Protein backbone atom coordinates (compact mmCIF):
# COMPACT_ATOMS: atom_id res chain seq x y z
CA UNK A 1 0.00 0.00 0.00
CA UNK A 2 1.45 3.33 -0.98
CA UNK A 3 1.49 6.33 1.31
CA UNK A 4 -1.10 7.98 -0.92
CA UNK A 5 -3.64 5.18 -0.55
CA UNK A 6 -6.92 6.30 0.98
CA UNK A 7 -8.89 3.76 2.95
CA UNK A 8 -12.62 4.43 3.01
CA UNK A 9 -14.21 3.69 6.37
CA UNK A 10 -17.88 3.73 7.38
CA UNK A 11 -18.32 5.12 10.91
CA UNK A 12 -21.48 4.67 12.98
CA UNK A 13 -22.58 7.16 15.62
CA UNK A 14 -25.07 5.22 17.72
CA UNK A 15 -27.00 6.79 20.60
CA UNK A 16 -28.78 5.02 23.43
CA UNK A 17 -32.00 6.23 25.06
CA UNK A 18 -29.96 8.38 27.48
CA UNK A 19 -28.28 10.25 24.61
CA UNK A 20 -24.98 8.48 25.26
CA UNK A 21 -22.79 7.49 22.31
CA UNK A 22 -21.32 4.04 21.67
CA UNK A 23 -17.56 3.55 21.37
CA UNK A 24 -15.48 0.40 21.20
CA UNK A 25 -11.93 -0.31 22.25
CA UNK A 26 -9.45 -1.65 19.74
CA UNK A 27 -8.28 -5.14 20.68
CA UNK A 28 -4.67 -6.04 21.47
CA UNK A 29 -4.12 -7.67 18.06
CA UNK A 30 -4.92 -4.47 16.12
CA UNK A 31 -3.05 -1.32 15.27
CA UNK A 32 -3.67 1.38 17.90
CA UNK A 33 -4.57 -1.34 20.44
CA UNK A 34 -6.34 -0.06 23.55
CA UNK A 35 -7.55 3.16 21.97
CA UNK A 36 -11.26 3.89 21.66
CA UNK A 37 -13.11 4.55 18.42
CA UNK A 38 -16.58 4.81 16.99
CA UNK A 39 -17.81 1.52 15.51
CA UNK A 40 -17.42 0.83 11.82
CA UNK A 41 -14.87 -0.40 9.36
CA UNK A 42 -13.39 -0.45 5.90
CA UNK A 43 -15.50 -0.60 2.79
CA UNK A 44 -15.31 -3.82 0.81
CA UNK A 45 -14.81 -3.49 -2.94
CA UNK A 46 -17.87 -1.98 -4.60
CA UNK A 47 -19.73 -1.19 -1.37
CA UNK A 48 -21.64 2.03 -0.81
CA UNK A 49 -21.43 3.90 2.48
CA UNK A 50 -24.77 2.43 3.51
CA UNK A 51 -23.78 -1.14 2.61
CA UNK A 52 -20.48 -0.86 4.50
CA UNK A 53 -22.17 0.68 7.54
CA UNK A 54 -24.86 -1.99 7.70
CA UNK A 55 -22.38 -4.86 7.21
CA UNK A 56 -19.85 -3.56 9.74
CA UNK A 57 -22.48 -2.94 12.43
CA UNK A 58 -23.91 -6.41 11.88
CA UNK A 59 -20.45 -8.05 12.05
CA UNK A 60 -19.07 -6.03 14.98
CA UNK A 61 -22.15 -5.31 17.06
CA UNK A 62 -24.91 -7.68 15.97
CA UNK A 63 -27.31 -4.85 15.18
CA UNK A 64 -29.17 -4.09 11.97
CA UNK A 65 -29.08 -0.46 10.89
CA UNK A 66 -32.54 0.66 9.78
CA UNK A 67 -31.96 4.38 9.17
CA UNK A 68 -28.92 6.65 9.11
CA UNK A 69 -27.93 10.12 7.95
CA UNK A 70 -24.55 11.65 7.07
CA UNK A 71 -22.76 13.76 9.67
CA UNK A 72 -19.47 14.49 7.88
CA UNK A 73 -16.67 13.08 5.77
CA UNK A 74 -13.13 13.70 6.92
CA UNK A 75 -9.66 12.48 6.05
CA UNK A 76 -6.94 11.73 8.56
CA UNK A 77 -3.34 10.95 7.71
CA UNK A 78 -1.50 8.40 9.81
CA UNK A 79 2.23 7.77 9.20
CA UNK A 80 1.59 4.90 6.77
CA UNK A 81 -1.96 5.47 5.51
CA UNK A 82 -4.78 7.93 5.09
CA UNK A 83 -8.31 7.10 6.16
CA UNK A 84 -11.46 8.76 4.85
CA UNK A 85 -14.13 8.54 7.53
CA UNK A 86 -17.69 8.55 6.21
CA UNK A 87 -19.46 9.35 9.46
CA UNK A 88 -23.15 8.47 9.75
CA UNK A 89 -25.56 9.15 12.59
CA UNK A 90 -27.64 6.03 13.16
CA UNK A 91 -31.25 7.09 13.59
CA UNK A 92 -32.77 3.61 14.01
CA UNK A 93 -31.45 0.09 14.51
CA UNK A 94 -32.70 -3.25 15.73
CA UNK A 95 -31.03 -5.84 17.91
CA UNK A 96 -28.98 -5.70 21.09
CA UNK A 97 -25.53 -4.12 20.90
CA UNK A 98 -22.86 -6.77 21.58
CA UNK A 99 -19.08 -6.88 21.19
CA UNK A 100 -19.00 -9.70 18.64
CA UNK A 101 -15.26 -9.24 17.96
CA UNK A 102 -14.37 -9.48 21.67
CA UNK A 103 -13.97 -5.70 21.84
CA UNK A 104 -14.89 -3.69 24.92
CA UNK A 105 -17.88 -1.43 24.43
CA UNK A 106 -18.83 1.70 26.37
CA UNK A 107 -21.56 4.31 26.25
CA UNK A 108 -20.48 7.89 27.00
CA UNK A 109 -22.05 11.32 26.93
CA UNK A 110 -20.39 13.58 24.38
CA UNK A 111 -18.39 15.56 26.96
CA UNK A 112 -16.94 12.32 28.36
CA UNK A 113 -15.58 11.31 24.96
CA UNK A 114 -12.96 14.06 25.25
CA UNK A 115 -11.59 12.31 28.35
CA UNK A 116 -11.04 8.83 26.92
CA UNK A 117 -8.16 7.69 24.69
CA UNK A 118 -10.03 8.24 21.42
CA UNK A 119 -8.25 7.65 18.09
CA UNK A 120 -6.88 10.93 16.66
CA UNK A 121 -8.90 10.45 13.46
CA UNK A 122 -12.12 10.42 15.50
CA UNK A 123 -11.53 13.65 17.43
CA UNK A 124 -13.01 16.01 14.76
CA UNK A 125 -16.21 13.97 14.94
CA UNK A 126 -16.73 15.26 18.49
CA UNK A 127 -16.84 18.86 17.28
CA UNK A 128 -19.33 17.96 14.54
CA UNK A 129 -21.50 16.17 17.11
CA UNK A 130 -21.50 19.23 19.37
CA UNK A 131 -23.17 21.22 16.58
CA UNK A 132 -25.84 18.53 16.14
CA UNK A 133 -26.53 17.78 19.81
CA UNK A 134 -26.25 21.25 21.35
Structural domain of 37: 6-133
CATH code (residue 71) = 3.90.79.10
Euclidean distance between CA atoms 23 and 31, whole angstroms: 16
Task: Tell me how far apart the alpha carbons of residues 78 and 105 are, in angstroms, rounded to a whole number.
Answer: 24
Query: Is 75 part of any domain?
Result: yes
Tally of domains within the chain? 1
Q: What is the pTM of this model?
A: 0.93
Alpha-carbon distances, residue 5 vs 38, 48, 74, 75, 112 (angstroms): 22, 18, 15, 12, 33
Look over the chain and give the mean of its residue pLDDT values, rounded to a whole number: 93
Q: What value does the mean pLDDT take over residues 94-108?
A: 96
Q: What's the pLDDT score for residue 65?
A: 97
**Does residue 15 belong to any structural domain of this protein?**
yes
Q: What percent of the chain has pLDDT over 70?
A: 96
Report yes or no: 19 and 7 within 8 Å, Cβ to Cβ: no
Considering the domain boundaries, does residue 1 fall inside one?
no
Residue 86 lies in a domain: yes
Does 108 fall in a domain? yes
Q: Are 23 and 114 in contact (CB under 8 A)?
A: no
39 domain residue, yes or no: yes
Please count the CA atoms within 13 angstroms of the CA of 134 that sit on its side-chain side: 9
Q: Which long-range contacts (CB under 8 A, 24 or more apart) does 31-35 make?
A: 32/119, 34/117, 35/117, 35/118, 35/119
Structure confidence by residue, pLDDT tens digits, 44-53: 999 999 999 9
- pLDDT tens sequence across 32-91: 889 999 999 999 999 999 999 999 999 999 999 999 999 999 999 988 889 999 999 999
Amino acid sequence: MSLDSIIDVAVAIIFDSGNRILVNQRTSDREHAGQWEFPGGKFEKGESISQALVRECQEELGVTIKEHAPLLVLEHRYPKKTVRLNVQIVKAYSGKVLGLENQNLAWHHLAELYEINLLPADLPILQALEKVIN
